[in-house]
Amino acid sequence: MTQFFFEQFLFYLAIILTLIAPGYFVLHFFVSKNALTMIERSILAIPISFTITTFTLLCAAYANVPITRASTFILLITVSLIIIAGSQLTKRKFVTDSSQTNNTKKLSKKHCVVIGCIVAIMCLTKGAYLVNTIFPTSTDLGHHMYWVQRIVTTGEIVPYSKVIVEPDNPDEASTSAAKFIGVQQIPDFIIGEHIIFAAIALLSGISVISAMPSLILFLIHMVSIGTIFILSSRIFKHLPYGQIAAIFVLVTIGILYAISGAQAKFVSGGVVGNILGNMLIASTLYFFVRSLEEKNRTFFLLGIILATTLLYTHHLSMFIFGYILITWIITFCLLNIREIVSHIKLWLHLLNWWMLIVLASIIMFIFFIHIPSYLDPQTISSSLGSPSKSTRVGIPLWQLINSSGMIRFLYGISGLVIFTVIFSRVAFVQKHVKNLSIGENTKQNFIGTYAYALIIAWTLVLLTMSLEPSILKVNILSTRIATYIIFPLAITAGFFLAWIIYHLRQKSSTLPSTLTIPTAIFLFSIIVLDGTSDNTRSLKAVPETQQAVQTFHNALYLKDHAPKDSWSLKDHNYIEADSWMKVFMANGNSDYSNPLSRGFFARYESKPRREHCTREMISKPASDLAKQCFDNLNIVLITVNSEQDAGQFIKNNDFIKIYENNELSTFYRR
Amino acid sequence: MNHQKKLILFCSLALIITMSSLAWTERKQSDYADGKDWWAISFIDPSPTNDSMNFVIENFADNHEFSYEITDQNTTSDPKIINIPKGSSRQISIPQVAPAEVTVTLGKQTKTLNK
């Protein structure tokens, strides 16, 4: 117990050093106190700290400074001191126009209590799901943690690559032996996904093969939700029901539908890039909106820096963000075509000389220091253009509604329509809004021009990318894109609820006053019921970790006893948490592909030109083809499920059994 | 202390409690013995070029009375009984050398190693 408390103490110290302190210092010393509320400062400190930690260690690695516990600690303390010293040297804070900053209504005690309750329920709901999924078994998380473990054990940033196995004759791959043909880059991994975990593992001493990665993802995920909340607060700040709308946004994104989709499921599933990307997209948009609405260069700079971090963190999120940004710009220009010249002057005002220096530095960093692994013409061109597979042509509307939460989707779309109409700057629409009296007390300038365009663009572009990606020349898995729409939908759904309830309470409401409260309760109840039933359906049974634990035990044995320079083979079909086996073996000489894996059986049929050795060596180890494969690939150790696959090795004199537990057996090829 | 500070403190506390609870849960789940019932055997030196048959029994099962026997050149040794508490392991040195087979039994479960 004492050891556990000590570990937790170090863990939270590591989080403070990597994910809180650097960003907090930046905001404290370079942004006026009036510009950010305490809550905004606390939330935004984390993506900024993430940025500082990631780039500090990346630069250190490229300067051949080994990434160890001591160097990480010293570097982060040094960076924090530099930030403090820098602020003293400049001797001024980047003050925003005070007439803008003081307009934010402070949260009342009642609001704070409600928000506190919402956060507590969020922790309970997501915690209830995670308690049965916190044990590290996820395949995706295992793949990511291999690279984290490489950094931890070697102290270096290694290129994302793996040895490739190809059949000698791809046209007859099922009967052809295979061999190693070289090393190939892996564009799926990006450095920003791994440095933060390595830093925390090094500083705290906690193993990568633990709950630590999922806990960090959980924290990042909660920060994403917090960022959506503060973004909504700023967007709706001038509305009489603005704070209520932001609280409703927090409810629809934080408590309701809190597990399925890109929420708690992605946390335990180890969808690292998505979780980090959601936080960075939300915080980047926050800073861009505020910089444009308030003509604030500091916020603009922070937005650019966070966008750069996104570039180094997750390719899909960066892709989505790019589309959001372009659509935002186009939407804004179309809606404000008459005043576009004045807005262009604002953009040029924000882009002053030192901003251009920063942009130039970023471009130089990208091309001369570390270029993200996915930024090559082939990867980019494969993501753009007409959808090339059936899974990329868009998803049916019903599927999008289900994945977003039915009532949330309905409220979100309704909210978007109402938002678009009543805050429209088009004279024709304004006139009709006034005539209908639905815009009473709702002036167009209650919503900033940039925020107005953002909400419309953000929602519409993701709807289009999910339903009809061919219109936008998007060639990416549609179900993955659809997970991003929950954030703008939550904002518009929260707005919808607040707007409806506010107008029901107005004297001019068409409903009799006796029906006002029941109607409000009804509208709120159905989304709560739908959202909580979605949570209930998503909960998992108590896990059976015994199988995974035995896999880890076996992996430790392999790590200690695998002959040098040899390769191992294992099965993906019947071994629990098998992708974590390579994490145990990660060191300076290991390869991502080792142990080789017999993949899902269907994949050998769907990709007939891929190597079939891995299947043959486990399914028929006595065959001539398997023997040739064993020789070509230097396979020495083979781990299989005892019940499913041990039989064919036990009968074979070419193999000896060297390890057995209740689930697995390991064989050594003579 | 104003309301926002209290809110931040409360939210931080909620997050810490949640994360620590999850960490504690995972710690118990990852314990080889806690709530588990399995065991493993393995060669100390698995290389086929080394003819030593010495092996290890690691016990994470509720039962603790193991028996093992060695079969070499068609001769099977008398079963030996060994008591290994849950959460412990025992290295077994045996005089026989490869080629041979080790058979370990715990209750109704049997596992084998061979060289």
pLDDT of residue B84: 96
Q: Do A23 and A42 touch, CB atoms closer than 8 A? A: no
Residue B26 near chain A (CB below 8 Å)? yes
Residue A643 near chain B (CB below 8 Å)? no
Choose among A211, A549, A554: nearest Cβ to B22.
A211
CA distance A610 to chain B (A): 32
Q: Tell me, what CATH number does B72's domain have?
A: 2.60.40.1930
Q: Is A211 within 8 Å of B23 when comparing Cβ atoms?
A: yes
Q: Do B39 and B57 touch, CB atoms closer than 8 A? A: yes
The Cα A19–Cα A221 span in angstroms is 13
Nearest CA in chain B to A642: B111
Q: In 3D, which of A431, A398, A195, A405 has the Cα closest to residue A313?
A: A195
A 415-444 residues inside an 8 A Cβ radius of B: none
Nearest CA in chain B to A124: B18
Domains of chain A and any CATH numbers: 107-132+211-538 (no CATH), 161-189+545-669 (3.40.50)
Q: In 3D, which of A183, A282, A291 has the Cα closest to residue A226?
A: A282
**Which residues in chain B are contacts of A108 at CB distance < 8 A?**
3
Q: Is A343 exposed, middle or buried (0-12, 13-18, 19+ CB in 10 A)?
A: middle
Residues B73 and B50 both lie in one domain:
yes
The Cα A574–Cα B44 span in angstroms is 26
DSSP one-letter string for A169-181? SGGGGGGS-EEEE
The Cα A473–Cα A421 span in angstroms is 29
Residues B52 and B16 both lie in one domain:
no
Tokens of A564: 């040098």
The Cα A230–Cα A27 span in angstroms is 15
Interchain CB contacts (distance < 8 Å): A and B: 140
CA distances from A72 to A151, A156, A214 (A): 12, 12, 21
Q: Do A534 and A561 touch, CB atoms closer than 8 A? A: no
Percentage of chain B exceeding pLDDT 70: 99
Give the neighbor-by-neighbor strand order of the sheet with A596-598.
Answer: A596-598, A567-571, A635-641, A664-669, A655-660, B38-43, B55-60, B88-92
Residue A663 has phi, psi (to 5 degrees) of -110, -40
DSSP one-letter string for A547-565? HHHHHHHHHHHHHHHSPTT
SS3 B78: coil
The Cα A208–Cα A200 span in angstroms is 9
Residue A515 has phi, psi (to 5 degrees) of -95, -5
Q: Is A42 exposed, middle or buried (0-12, 13-18, 19+ CB in 10 A)?
A: buried
Residue A550 near chain B (CB below 8 Å)? yes
- What is the value of pTM for the model shown? 0.94
Q: A635-641 and B109-114: which strand pairing?
A: unpaired
**Which residues in chain A are contacts of B48 at CB distance < 8 A?**
656, 668, 670
Kindly state the DSSP code that residue A542 receives in the 8-state scheme: P
Query: With helix as H, strand as E and coil as C, how does A296-326 read?
Result: CHHHHHHHHHHHHHHHCCCHHHHHHHHHHHH
Residues B51 and B26 both lie in one domain:
no
Residue B44 near chain A (CB below 8 Å)? no
Pick the residue of B2, B17, B24, B29 with the most A CBs within 10 A to test the interface with A by mutation: B29
B 46-65 residues inside an 8 A Cβ radius of A: 46-48, 58
Residues B92 and B43 both lie in one domain:
yes
Residues B67 and B48 both lie in one domain:
yes
**Which residues in chain A are contacts of B5 at CB distance < 8 A?**
38
Length of chain A: 670
Tokens of A240: 């009489």
| Residue that the structure tokens 């003509």 belong to | A295
pLDDT of residue A96: 46
CB neighbourhood size of A108 (10 A): 11
Pick the residue of B5, B10, B11 with the most A CBs within 10 A to test the interface with A by mutation: B11
pLDDT of residue A97: 44
Q: In chain B, count H helices and then E strands.
A: 1, 8
Residue B17 near chain A (CB below 8 Å)? yes
Residues B24 and B60 both lie in one domain:
no
Residues B57 and B99 both lie in one domain:
yes
- The whole-number mean pLDDT for each consecutive block of 10 residues of chain A, a chain of 670 residues, reads 93 97 94 91 97 95 94 96 86 48 66 95 94 93 95 91 91 89 87 95 96 97 97 93 94 92 87 95 97 92 95 92 95 90 87 85 85 72 70 86 92 95 77 62 70 96 92 84 94 95 73 77 91 88 88 96 93 95 91 94 88 94 94 96 95 94 96
Residue A543 near chain B (CB below 8 Å)? yes
Q: Is B17 within 8 Å of A123 when comparing Cβ atoms?
A: yes
Residues B96 and B42 both lie in one domain:
yes
pLDDT of residue A92: 53
**Which residues in chain B are contacts of A243 at CB distance < 8 A?**
none
Residue B105 has pLDDT above 90, yes or no: yes
The Cα A634–Cα A669 span in angstroms is 10
Strand extents, DSSP E, B33-100: 38-43, 55-60, 65-72, 75-76, 80-83, 88-92
CB neighbourhood size of A2 (10 A): 6
Q: Do A372 and A366 touch, CB atoms closer than 8 A? A: yes
Q: Is A134 within 8 Å of B22 when comparing Cβ atoms?
A: yes
**Which residues in chain A are contacts of B58 at CB distance < 8 A?**
553
Q: In chain A, count H helices and then E strands.
A: 31, 7
Residues B55 and B104 both lie in one domain:
yes
What is the domain extent for residue B2? 1-30
Tokens of A197: 């975990």
Choose among B18, B29, B111: nearest Cβ to A545.
B29
Amino acid identity at A307 = A
Choose among B14, B32, B37: nearest Cβ to A553.
B32
pLDDT of residue A587: 86
Residue A298 has phi, psi (to 5 degrees) of -60, -45
CB neighbourhood size of A330 (10 A): 13
Pick the residue of A549, A554, A566, A584 with the most B CBs within 10 A to test the interface with B by mutation: A549
Q: Do A542 and A606 touch, CB atoms closer than 8 A? A: no
The Cα A35–Cα A274 span in angstroms is 29
pLDDT of residue A509: 57
Per the DSSP assignment, residues forming a β-bridge with A657 are A667
Per the DSSP assignment, residues forming a β-bridge with A369 are none
Count of domains observed in chain B: 2
Residue A13 near chain B (CB below 8 Å)? no
The Cα A280–Cα A48 span in angstroms is 9
Q: In 3D, which of B4, B72, B6, B105 has the Cα closest to residue A108?
A: B4
SS3 B90: strand
φ/ψ bin of A651: left (φ > 0), alpha (ψ from -120 to 50), beta (otherwise): alpha
Residues B6 and B61 both lie in one domain:
no
The Cα A618–Cα A639 span in angstroms is 9
Q: Is A609 exposed, middle or buried (0-12, 13-18, 19+ CB in 10 A)?
A: middle
The residues, ordered by sequence, that sit 6+ positions from A359 with a Cβ below 8 Å of its Cβ are A304, A351
The Cα A367–Cα A362 span in angstroms is 9
Residues B47 and B12 both lie in one domain:
no
Residue A635 near chain B (CB below 8 Å)? no
Residues B95 and B44 both lie in one domain:
yes
**Which residues in chain A are contacts of B18 at CB distance < 8 A?**
123-124, 126-127, 218
| Residue that the structure tokens 């597979």 belong to | A389
Q: Do A144 and A597 touch, CB atoms closer than 8 A? A: no
The Cα A433–Cα A452 span in angstroms is 16
Tokens of A186: 């892996």
Tokens of B48: 């086929």
The Cα A549–Cα A544 span in angstroms is 10
Cα end-to-end distance, chain A, whole Å? 45
